[in-house]
Amino acid sequence: MLKVFLDGVFVGDLLPIVLCGGAGSRLWPLSRQLNPKQFLTLTDEHSTMLHQTISRLKGLSAGTPIVICNEEHRFLAAEQLRLVGVNSARIILEPMGRNTAPAIALAALQATAEGKDGMLLVLAADHRIGNPAAFHESVSNALPLAEAGKLVTFGVVPGKAETGYGYIQKGAALDHAGFIVERFVEKPDYATAQRFLESGDYLWNSGMFLFKASRYLEELERFRPDILEACRVAFDESAEDLLFTRINRQAFAACPEESVDYAVMEKTSSAAVVPMDAGWSDIGSWSALWEVSAKDDSGNSVCGDVIQENSSGCLVRAEHRLVATVGAEDLVIVETKDAVLVAHKDRVQDVKKVVSQIEADGRHEHLNHREVYRPWGVYDSIDNGHRYQVKRITVKPGAKLSVQMHHHRAEHWIVVSGTAKVTNGEKTYLVTENQSTYIPVGQVHALENPGVVDLELIEVQSGSYLGEDDIVRFEDKYGRA
């Protein structure tokens, strides 16, 4: 890990902690439970939110980050880190979400277990920061305060009376542009938010922090020893798997669910806040995305194949087909392969209610897109009906699906491009373009791409049950159960 110096004076090790959990349900149908907003290209068509979070660390002399994510997202996180050249990040896998206080505790325990009591720069993977230089300046201002034992939070300079964020009231001034935290305030009503804005004494609560690992653990033990004890047990019983740290499921399930604000920051006498004016947004809704997006002369933000006639103030995203609007005002319209959202911008906070209804109805559109990413590639469920399902499968060069079998379905594979290496019972053979093979019910089988280009094939499943849980894995190079 690289050392951090400020004006030539050593102030500790800067260790980024990237919180990569959350489902982003307010950004449905683009954000899904198994492919949430931190892994999506929302504010930049070439860069995901996680990519942007990692990229803005450049220039901070920071070490390799620790990333904390849900176990279900481990391959998404690992692949996206690889794409930005971060191949050695430690990825801590939470078996279930327990909010930010336990997540940061796991990161602090990981850091101290490696013999490092560094400065933990705690960041969310799904925030937008339009001015990285201003972000760097605020981090530099916070470093000496954290070195002196303060638990520093970053307060965003408000640009309007916002009711969707919590607030931090500034107290007495400290050195290095910081302030004592007078109090934390829950999301206010509009009149209160307007009063906060006019006073100049309040900042938006960004959910970003800087403190020593040992100081955070000390304060957590003081105020919420139950959380720290549960995290210690879960961490001590974790298993190392390549770059993944698999937290013990049973022990972590016993951990209380609590935010770092409630568990520590609102209780400690060592809380400090450093203002940040860096074009920050948590992209917490479609209207928030509209606000930070480029717009045309009519105030429309469009992405994809969109035709607009006499429309204004809209956000329209067309993922797979033409979307046309006529006379639309202040609407959010989002089209994906399997769902379309139409909502007024003033009501986008209620999108999560739609997601809850989808789940309550036993549907699957809240879980994933039609296209599902796996460590070996991707599949697209292009058609389904009674006792059959058709998928288009793409397998990356050198990748291999698990050795598996199914109790209830047979599979017919037709190679569209590339070459497949097929294990079918006791036989192993190659299947090339325009050739096919058949996998009977109950047959142990595997599919591999031995070539240097993508393998694309059509899979036709038939049987009495076609769910993804009808997979019995015997061997898997990616460590899936």
User: pLDDT (tens digit, 9 = 90+) per residue, 313-354?
Assistant: 999 999 999 999 999 999 999 999 999 999 999 999 999 999
pLDDT at 2: 39
Domain CATH number, residue 430: 2.60.120.10
Residue 47 lies in a domain: yes
Residue 69 lies in a domain: yes
pLDDT at 10: 36
Residue 289 lies in a domain: no
Residue 337 lies in a domain: yes
User: Same domain, yes or no, for 243 and 379?
Assistant: no
User: Same domain, yes or no, for 136 and 266?
Assistant: yes
Positions of the chain with pLDDT under 50: 1-12
Residue with tokens 């980024």: 16
User: Same domain, yes or no, for 196 and 248?
Assistant: yes
Using alpha carbons, select from 304, 267, 279, 39 the residue that is nearest to residue 138. Answer: 279
Computed from CA positions of residues 402, 404, 408, 410, in that sequence, does the dihedral angle turn out positive or negative?
positive
Q: What domain range is 148 assigned to?
A: 3-281
Residue 114 lies in a domain: yes
pLDDT at 196: 95
Domain CATH number, residue 35: 3.90.550.10
Using alpha carbons, select from 430, 20, 227, 158 the residue that is nearest to residue 219. Answer: 227
pTM of this prediction? 0.86
User: Same domain, yes or no, for 350 and 422?
Assistant: no
Number of folded domains in the chain? 3
Residue 366 lies in a domain: no
User: Same domain, yes or no, for 323 and 349?
Assistant: yes
Residue 28 lies in a domain: yes
The three state secondary structure string of the chain is CCEEEECCEEEEEEEEEEECCCCCHHHCCCCECCECHHHCCCCCCCCCHHHHHHHCCCCCCCCCCEEEEEHHHHHHHHHHHHHCCCCCCEEEEECCCCCHHHHHHHHHHHHHHCCCCCEEEEEECCCEECCHHHHHHHHHHHHHHHHCCCEEEEEECCCCCCCCCCEEEEEEECCCCCEEEEEEECCCCHHHHHHHHHHCCEEEEEEEEEEEHHHHHHHHHHHCHHHHHHHHHHHHCCEEECCEEECCHHHHHCCCCCCHHHHHHCCCCCEEEEEECCCEECCCCHHHHHHHCCCCCCCCEEECCEEEECCECCEEEECCCCEEEECCECEEEEECCCCEEEEEHHHHHHHHHHHHHHHHCCCCCCCCCCEEEECCEEEEEEEEECCEEEEEEEECCCCECCEEECCCEEEEEEEEECCEEEEECCEEEEECCCCEEEECCCCCEEEECCCCCCEEEEEEEEECCCCCCCCEEEECCCCCC
pLDDT at 115: 74
From the number of C-beta atoms within 10 Å of its C-beta (0-12, 13-18, 19+), residue 360 rates as: exposed
User: Same domain, yes or no, for 13 and 132?
Assistant: yes
User: Same domain, yes or no, for 65 and 210?
Assistant: yes
User: Same domain, yes or no, for 7 and 109?
Assistant: yes
Using one digit for the tens of pLDDT, what is the confidence trace for 377-414? 999 999 989 999 999 999 999 999 999 999 999 999 99
Residue 363 lies in a domain: no
* The domain boundary residue, chosen from 253, 281, 309: 281
* The domain boundary residue, chosen from 231, 254, 281: 281
User: Same domain, yes or no, for 322 and 453?
Assistant: no
- Distance (Å) of CA 158 to CA 18, 121, 174, 278, 362: 24, 22, 20, 11, 41
User: Same domain, yes or no, for 268 and 403?
Assistant: no
Distance CA 148, CA 161 (A): 33
Distance CA 219, CA 263 (A): 9
* The domain boundary residue, chosen from 281, 304, 338: 281
User: Same domain, yes or no, for 84 and 169?
Assistant: yes
User: Same domain, yes or no, for 253 and 304?
Assistant: no
Q: Are 300 and 290 in contact (CB under 8 A)?
A: no
pLDDT at 118: 83
